[in-house]
Amino acid sequence: MARKVLVLNQDYTAFTICSATKAFLLVYMNKAELVAEDGRVKLRSITRSFPMPSIIRLNRYVNKPFRQGGVVLNRQNVFKRDSNRCQYCTSVKDLTLDHVQPKSRGGKTSWDNLVTACKSCNGKKGDFTPDEAGMILISKPYKPSFVMFLRDFSERISEDWLLYLGQKQA
């Protein structure tokens, strides 16, 4: 069951995404309530049928102070933010990470200093800044917020999630 479910905190703010199996168990064990279901599919046992969750809301508020820090900085998340494209030439092959301000020159490993680059552009840029190497960044690196990350960089989101992720349905 590869379906994903949006989990809302008790105050209806986006909390996380989980599998449909975990969401069903949370609802079944009365730890969450069903907010929206996927009407196209049902969960079935031998004798019963249950709605397939699309959005659930936790019955009690869960405080996650680390969430204020936003999205975890890792290779896959930088690639997602940059649409799996080199930020110098738009290539989608042989991707790696590039420090805009080189580490050897005081550049930090941070959202604001990392971009996706193909091996060719990364090698061409070397130990220089993009300006020094005569290269132009397609987009400036930035730190995505948690809600922005869920909304814009999740592979598949359901239309009914948009209301809770800061976009209204069309």
Distance, CA of 97 to CA of 61 (rounded, Å): 37
pTM of the model: 0.64
Residue 146 has a pLDDT of 75
> Around Cβ 40, how many Cβ atoms within 10 Å?
7
Distance, CA of 143 to CA of 125 (rounded, Å): 23
Residue 170 has a pLDDT of 42
Distance, CA of 108 to CA of 143 (rounded, Å): 14
Domains along the chain with CATH numbers? 4-67+145-165 (no CATH), 72-133 (1.10.30.50)
Residue 169 has a pLDDT of 45
Q: Is the pLDDT of residue 121 over 70?
A: yes
Distance, CA of 157 to CA of 17 (rounded, Å): 10
Mean pLDDT of 129-133: 96
Distance, CA of 132 to CA of 113 (rounded, Å): 16
Distance, CA of 121 to CA of 144 (rounded, Å): 24
